[in-house]
């Protein structure tokens, strides 16, 4: 089992990236999100998922552990295979995917090729509880206090950031000083991610 591949990107095609690791080129099926971050001739690390069948050995590669985690969660949904999961993560970024599930935004998911309304509803139904447990485990007292009217959006944003792999202290620091009143969950997440990048 490969955990990640680290090497020079030698070829980029639609949904495919080839990574040269010590003279061996590994073809990784990947998402549009990851492809947008890769450049031929530059080194990159792709976190991998191996899909092994009788007639195939496919490697899926992702630029972040967060995107790989989203991919694996999607594979756990009834009726979602690697191609559908890849299509969804080509249509939305990992943070947008998490928000789409938590806010039950079917349109964000149906933007992916081959994903209809019924499948989008099933994804939300089967994953919202998994993502929702993060919201209950993350206590509001651990974060920046806000006015009640902004609480639900803030709680969802905190849970989304935690699901993306950020530690509670990182989230608290990113949200500190943000005027979240009146902001949507997605806006709060984007502002928090921007604050983390600036640090």
Tens digit of each residue's pLDDT (9 = 90 or more) over 149-168? 344 778 888 888 877 777 77
131 and 142 within one domain: no
Three-state DSSP class for residue 30: coil
70 and 25 within one domain: no
Q: What is the mean pLDDT of residues 92-121?
A: 88
pLDDT category at 49 given cuts 50, 70, 90 is: very high
148 and 171 within one domain: yes
- Between 41 and 183, the higher pLDDT residue: 41
- Enclosing domain of residue 79: 65-135
58 and 77 within one domain: no
Structure-block tokens of residue 151: 């609480």
Which of 108, 135, 162 is a domain's end point? 135
131 and 70 within one domain: yes
Average the pLDDT over each of 25-34, 70-79, 131-140 and give the range with the smallest value: 131-140
152 and 128 within one domain: no
Q: Which of 1, 50, 41 is nearest to 19 (CA)?
A: 41
**8: pLDDT strictly greater than 70:** yes
Q: What whole-number distance in Å separates Cα of residue 30 and Cα of residue 52?
A: 16
145 and 131 within one domain: no
Q: Which of 120, 118, 94, 89 is nearest to 107 (CA)?
A: 120
CATH number of the domain to which 172 belongs = 1.10.8
Dihedral, CA of residue 126, residue 122, residue 163 and residue 75, to nearest 10: 90
Please provide the average confidence, as pLDDT, over all residues in the chain.
83
């Amino acid at each position: 089992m490969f955990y990640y591949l680290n090497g020079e990107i030698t070829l980029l095609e639609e949904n495919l990236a080839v990574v040269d690791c010590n003279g061996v080129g590994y073809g990784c099926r990947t998402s549009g999100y990851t492809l947008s971050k890769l450049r031929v001739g530059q080194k990159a690390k792709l976190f991998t998922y191996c899909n092994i069948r009788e007639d195939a050995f496919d490697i899926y590669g992702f630029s972040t552990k967060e995107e790989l985690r989203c991919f694996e969660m999607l594979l756990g949904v009834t009726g979602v295979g690697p191609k559908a999961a890849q299509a969804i993560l080509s249509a939305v970024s990992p943070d947008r995917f998490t928000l789409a599930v938590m806010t039950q935004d079917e349109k964000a998911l149906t933007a992916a090729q081959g994903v209809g309304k019924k499948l989008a509803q099933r994804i939300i139904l089967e994953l919202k509880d998994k993502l929702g447990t993060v919201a209950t485990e993350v206590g509001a007292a651990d974060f920046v206090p806000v006015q009640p009217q902004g609480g639900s959006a803030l709680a969802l944003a905190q849970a989304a950031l935690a699901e993306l792999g950020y530690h509670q202290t990182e989230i608290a620091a990113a949200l500190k000083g943000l005027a979240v009143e009146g902001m949507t969950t997605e806006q709060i997440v984007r502002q928090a991610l921007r604050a983390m990048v600036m640090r």
